[in-house]
Amino acid sequence: MAAAADSPMLCVGADEAADITFGLALDPAAGEVRLPSKASSARIARALTRRQFQQRWALPAELTDDAVLLVAELVGNAVQHAGAAQFGLRLRRRRGWVRAEVRDPSRALPCLLPVREMDVVSGRGLFLVDTLADRWGVDLLANGKCTWFEMRVGPRPPG
């Protein structure tokens, strides 16, 4: 996966990230949305994903709920482990598939840990991604990595 140097990048500053209304004005399907590496950014990423899947793409509620959960997990990993000031979120749709990407400047690869007990609070993120997504992976970039997942969807509604 090539870096999205030619894609538009939309940035949200630390002050704006706290304002979910401002965050919803951004479109992660039009270009990468940059958010500060703060736990509060997960809320914006979830809201952006829900809006894109449910309202703009009119995808089923179950698929939307799963995608929102998985985006939150990837964002949580970027915030907790990347050690960067920001991360990027991008959502894409092509025939039969949706894709979510979270980019950060760390080249450290995430690890899929075995989950033996479901009451474990930490370490389940990639287990959930592996379970709910049809496919997922990590692309190393010149300046970091892109962790992504894809899910199958039905055809677009007419019109």
At 10-62, the pLDDT tens digits run: 444 444 444 444 444 688 999 999 999 998 899 999 999 999 999 999 999 99
Q: Poorest-confidence range of 40-44, 78-82, 121-125, 144-148? A: 121-125
Worst-scoring range by mean pLDDT, 4-13, 82-91, 120-129?
A: 4-13
Q: How far is CA 71 from CA 42, 87, 137, 142, in A?
A: 8, 12, 13, 23
pLDDT at 1 over 50: no
Give the burial class of 133: count Cβ atoms within 10 A of its Cβ; 0-12 exposed, 13-18 middle, 19 or more buried: buried
| Structure confidence by residue, pLDDT tens digits, 103-120 | 999 888 776 766 655 555
pTM above 0.85, yes or no: no
Residue 155 · residue 139 · CB < 8 Å: no
Task: Name the token pair of 60.
Answer: 């089923």
Predicted local confidence at residue 52, as pLDDT: 97
**pLDDT for the residue numbered 124:** 65
